[in-house]
Amino acid sequence: MNNEKMDTSAVYTLFEELKESFKQRNEKPVEPAQVDMKTVNTMTEQTMRGNP
């Protein structure tokens, strides 16, 4: 287990970018739960592998 703190600002920024992208495609609001866990999981996996 990696004890380093994740850069939460990077996760937040990525989440906001994804949310905006979905809004532009669908023209309807995106519920945070739809992309939030996927984003966090992806960022966590990349961080643990050492691929920022």
Task: Examine residue 30 and state whether it is found in any structural domain, yes or no.
Answer: yes
Task: Examine residue 38 and state whether it is found in any structural domain, yes or no.
Answer: yes
Amino acid at 46: Q
Task: Examine residue 32 and state whether it is found in any structural domain, yes or no.
Answer: yes
Burial call 21-33: b when 16+ CB within 10 Å, e when fewer: ebeeeeeeebeee
Task: Examine residue 14 and state whether it is found in any structural domain, yes or no.
Answer: yes
Task: Examine residue 1 and state whether it is found in any structural domain, yes or no.
Answer: no
Residue 5, CB-side half-sphere exposure with 13 Å CA sphere:
4
Evaluate if residue 30 carries a pLDDT over 60. Answer: no
Helices (H), 1-52: 8-26, 32-49
Evaluate if residue 41 carries a pLDDT over 70. Answer: yes
| Predicted pLDDT of residue 31 | 65
Count: domains in the chain = 1
d(CA 13, CA 50): 19
> How confident is residue 35, by pLDDT bands cut at 50, 70 and 90?
low
Task: Examine residue 15 and state whether it is found in any structural domain, yes or no.
Answer: yes
Task: Examine residue 3 and state whether it is found in any structural domain, yes or no.
Answer: no
Evaluate if residue 2 carries a pLDDT over 70. Answer: no
Q: Which domain holds residue 18?
A: 8-49
Task: Examine residue 16 and state whether it is found in any structural domain, yes or no.
Answer: yes
Residue appearing with tokens 């984003």: 39
